[in-house]
Amino acid sequence: MFAAKEPFTMKNPIFGFSKLTKTQKIDWIANHYFNHNPEATSILKAYWNDDPSLQKLHDDFIENTLSNYYLPLGVAPNFLINDTLYTIPMVIEESSVVAAASNAAKFWIQKGGFKATVLSTEKNGQIHLDYYGNKKNLELFFTEIKPLLFESIADIQKNMEKRGGGLLNIQLRNVTETLSGYYQLRCTFETLDAMGANFINSCLEAIATTFEAEAQKFKAFKDAQQFPKVVMSILSNYVPNCLVRAEVSCHVNDLEQNDINGTEFAEKMLRAVAIAKASPSRAVTHNKGIMNGIDAVVVATGNDFRAVEAGVHAYASKDGTYSSLTHASLENDIFKFWIEIPLALGTVGGLTSLHPMVKFNLQLLKNPSAKELMKIVAVAGLAQNFAALRSLVTTGIQKGHMKMHLMNILNGLQASETEKKKAVQHFKETTISQTAVSDFISSLKK
């Protein structure tokens, strides 16, 4: 077994950890954090894939891979989107999310389903500049070298251009009123079916290099001995011009359910949305529920959920206060419920052709284009919000949530299969809580 040459302390960190073999890394972790307990090693190994080549593929996704971390992959069927029927894959740990999505899908399939439209697909990135010289000189310089900046990425964007995408425009922006000496080159891109992060960042860095090199030769800068300097070049995850809208609508009478009539239900839904618009505290939870649906599909399709989260929440604050991402109206007896969000997604590149589960999920979605995936993901968010609000304004959320969570509580209590069956039966009629389930299982054991 591998042992560290010297004891590991705060004063003696390990350098070169990434150079160790996987077995050495695991041994090091077991030795230093688990007191040599062999269970620490076996739990990591128990989650390895039986197929070594598949495991190697996962090992190579990141640095210092020790094992795999499972999350359930579930599916929500019956999603009718623009008259096409989808079964949507969702990767998520929260018990009630897939059930809620399926419920919403079932509810709306009888009312014409979801309609979704991509409004725009533009991505953007910035080259952040420091410049304290004469503004006019910078503007002159930028106008002069703009064609050269485009030329500087000819090789990088050759393939993207062939497919109809690439760099759309570069603008010089003066941001000195916000931060002294701060200018930006704002670049906009069309990246088609790719999320485009690597493409955009490569373009930005090449443009930045040309920009700085040319600046050194520009006479007015030389005369004043004031040159613009590149601070950094990076894409923005705020993509307000990469927008998708999803919507459901029906006659208010068609909303009637159980013991509540359509108008009463519609008014409750409208009020719930109005509250999320009025109160940032509520809006955060309201939008979190939307992200339950969005993230689950974004992860299932191998997309970057942190990028999506960051961009969507920034969009929720676009008018100055954090607000609801969904909207509702009731006009001429027609109830409408919709979402409009920025989503930078890809269906080629990244993990899409590497991760076997991602490939499977994309195939399940009929190998969508990025635009189609934007629609599906927006619908998943809208459906999730509809399901959450529907519960919140009628039965309350806990009834359905705890029903789905019961199995987690039972597993946590290490209940046997027979005990689980009895508990499921018992809690059909009884309120579920950790204590109630624990007491019930104890009573069975007596």
Instruction: Please report, as ranges, the residues that interact with ligand MEV according to CB under 6 A.
Output: 94, 285-286, 288-289, 292, 388, 392, 397
Alpha-carbon gap, residue 136 to 115, rounded angstroms: 49
Tokens of 315: 């969009």
Distance CA 340, CA 326 (A): 7
The dihedral sign for the CA sequence 230, 231, 236, 238: negative
∠ CA 64-70-75, rounded to 5°:
140
Closest CA to 386 of 268, 284, 280, 306: 268
Query: Of 272 and 300, which CB lies nearer to ligand MEV in the complex structure?
Result: 272
Coil, strand, or helix at residue 136?
A: helix
Q: Which of 22, 32, 94, 355 is catalytic?
A: 94
Q: Which is nearer to ligand MEV, 208 or 296 (CB)?
A: 296
Closest approach of ligand MEV to the CB of residue 403, in Å: 14
CA nearest to 335, candidates 256, 246, 266, 264: 266
CA 62, CA 121: separation in Å to the nearest integer?
A: 29
Q: Which residues on neighbouring strands pair with residue 233, listed in sequence order?
A: 127
Catalytic residue among 58, 288, 371, 403: 288
Q: Burial code of 145-175, b = ≥16 C-beta within 10 A, e = fewer?
A: bbeebbebbeebbeebeeeebbbeebebeee
Tell the smallest beta-carbon distance from residue 51 to ligand MEV (Å): 35
Q: Which residue is nearest to ligand MEV (CB)?
A: 289
How far apart are alpha carbons 125 and 428 in whole angstroms? 53
Q: Which is nearer to ligand MEV, 96 or 124 (CB)?
A: 96
Q: Residue 391 CB, nearest distance to ligand MEV (Å)?
A: 7
Between 84 and 285, CB nearer to ligand MEV: 285
Active-site residue, 139 included: no
Is 426 in the active site?
A: no
* 331 belongs to the catalytic site: no
In the complex, least distance from residue 326 CB atom to ligand MEV, rounded to whole angstroms: 10
Dig out the tokens for 347 from the structure: 């269906």
Closest CB to ligand MEV among residues 73, 392: 392
Which residue among 123, 286, 401, 405 is the active-site one? 401
Q: Which is nearer to ligand MEV, 351 or 397 (CB)?
A: 397
| Cα–Cα dist 116/119, whole Å | 10
- Catalytic member of 59, 295, 304, 372: 304
**Minimum gap (Å) between residue 399 Cβ and ligand MEV:** 12
* Shortest distance (Å) from residue 292 CB to ligand MEV: 5
Pairwise CA distance, residues 51 & 58, whole Å? 11
Alpha-carbon separation of residue 171 from 143, 165, 188, 196, 304 (angstroms): 9, 18, 9, 20, 27
Cα–Cα distance for residue pair 188/206, rounded to 1 Å: 15
Q: Strands 166-174, 182-190: parallel, antiparallel or unpaired by DSSP?
A: antiparallel
Minimum Å gap between C-beta 39 and ligand MEV is: 32
The span from the CA of 382 to the CA of 273, in Å, is: 12
The Cα 150–Cα 363 span in angstroms is 36
Q: Are 237 and 126 in contact (CB under 8 A)?
A: no
The least CB distance from residue 227 to ligand MEV, in Å, is 51
Establish whether 229 is a catalytic residue: no
Of 94 and 130, the one with the shorter C-beta distance to ligand MEV is 94
Choose between 290 and 307: whose C-beta lies nearer to ligand MEV. 290
The one-letter amino acid code at 266 reads A
Active site residues: 94, 288, 304, 401
